[in-house]
Each structure stands twice: as C-alpha cells, then as structure tokens.
C-alpha cells in the first residue's frame, strides 16, 4: 500500500460499511482508482481532518472524542425515520467532550496510529498547518479555556 495519494473520509452519514471514518489511497499510476484500507468504517470518527506530509510520512490532525466513538443507535431505527435517527445520534455525540489528536498514517497497513492528544476542548479542530521545513511543521489550533475542559461539551 505504498500509494502516492492518501485520504481520510468522514463517514458520519453512514453507508454499507458503517459509520465513522475510512482511510483510502490511490497509486501513482492509477490516481482515479481509490481503494479503502478496511472493509468497514472505523467508528472512531475524526472530524475536520487535515492531512499533511513530513518527509515521506503522512499525518492527520483532527477533532475526536477521546473517551469513546461515534455511536449509532440502531435500536431506534424501528421507531424513527432514518433522518431523525441520524439527528439523534449526532446530537448525543455533540454533548460529549472532544479534543484534537495527531495521527500517523501507516502506509503498510493503512491504519491511523495515534501519536498524541492535543490539549483543548469545546468546538475545536480547525487546525492550521504551516510547513517550516521539509521535516518540521507548526500546528496552530484554538480551544475553549483549558481550565474548563473537564466535562466541557463539544457543542
């Protein structure tokens, strides 16, 4: 999987692969043919993802829920229309804490490997990435006050 193009997809509307995130790649000789690294979506969604390269490695910064994952309440499908069911899932997710994290793309397996959590809370993760040199980047982000982050809802 040493393809030249990599991407991470927010799959919060869900499809046949489930809900969450998906990692995809395409090879240099077939840039219009995208392949998913897994058959199913990873429920650990990454919102507002920003990918960047450092040397030959690919990284991703984005908002995440550090305590859990996107939870699809399948049992309420029997009671609610699909659009309302999805709205309930998103509202529940929005009332949990969120922060930012940094991941590295494993180009052999296609997995995202968490490097570190970035301090912050609230409506975070609109990071800016500035290349300083071939092997150095500066990541700028904003947060609600750090001393209030415990149990601070995303919304």
Q: What does the pLDDT read at residue 105?
A: 92
Q: Say how many C-beta atoms besides its own lie within 10 A of residue 131's C-beta.
A: 12
Q: What secondary structure letter does DSSP report for 119?
A: P
Residue 40 lies in a domain: yes
Find the domain containing 19 and state its range.
5-148
In the structure, what pLDDT confidence band is assigned to residue 68 with cuts at 50, 70 and 90? low
Read off the pLDDT of residues 70-102 as tens digits, 9 standing for 90 and up.
Answer: 666 666 667 778 778 778 777 877 777 778 889
CA atoms of 44 and 87, how far apart (whole Å): 18
Q: What does the pLDDT read at residue 102?
A: 93
Q: What is the mean pLDDT of residues 35-53?
A: 87
Residue 154 lies in a domain: no
Residue 155 lies in a domain: no
CB-neighbour burial class of residue 46 (10 A; exposed 0-12, middle 13-18, buried 19+): buried
Q: What is the mean pLDDT of residues 112-122?
A: 85
In this structure, are residues 25 and 49 in contact, taking their beta carbons and an 8 Å threshold? no
Contact residues for 87 (Cβ-Cβ < 8 A; gap 6+): none
In the structure, what pLDDT confidence band is assigned to residue 130 with cuts at 50, 70 and 90? very high
Mean pLDDT value across the chain: 82
Contact residues for 30 (Cβ-Cβ < 8 A; gap 6+): none
Number of domains in the chain: 1
Residue 93 lies in a domain: yes
């Amino acid at each position: 999987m040493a393809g030249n193009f990599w991407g991470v997809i927010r799959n919060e509307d869900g499809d046949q692969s489930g809900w969450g995130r998906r990692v995809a790649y395409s090879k240099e000789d077939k840039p219009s043919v995208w392949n998913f690294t897994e058959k199913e979506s990873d429920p650990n969604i990454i919102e507002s993802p920003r990918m960047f390269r450092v040397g030959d490695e690919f990284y991703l910064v984005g908002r995440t829920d550090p305590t859990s994952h996107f939870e699809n309440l399948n049992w309420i499908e029997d009671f609610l229309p699909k659009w309302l069911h999805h709205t309930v899932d998103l509202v529940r997710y929005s009332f949990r804490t969120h922060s930012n994290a940094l991941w590295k793309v494993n180009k052999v397996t296609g997995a995202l490997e968490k490097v570190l959590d970035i301090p912050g809370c609230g409506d975070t993760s609109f990071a800016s990435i500035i290349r300083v040199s071939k092997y150095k980047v500066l990541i700028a982000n904003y947060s609600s006050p750090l001393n209030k982050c415990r149990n601070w809802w995303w919304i």
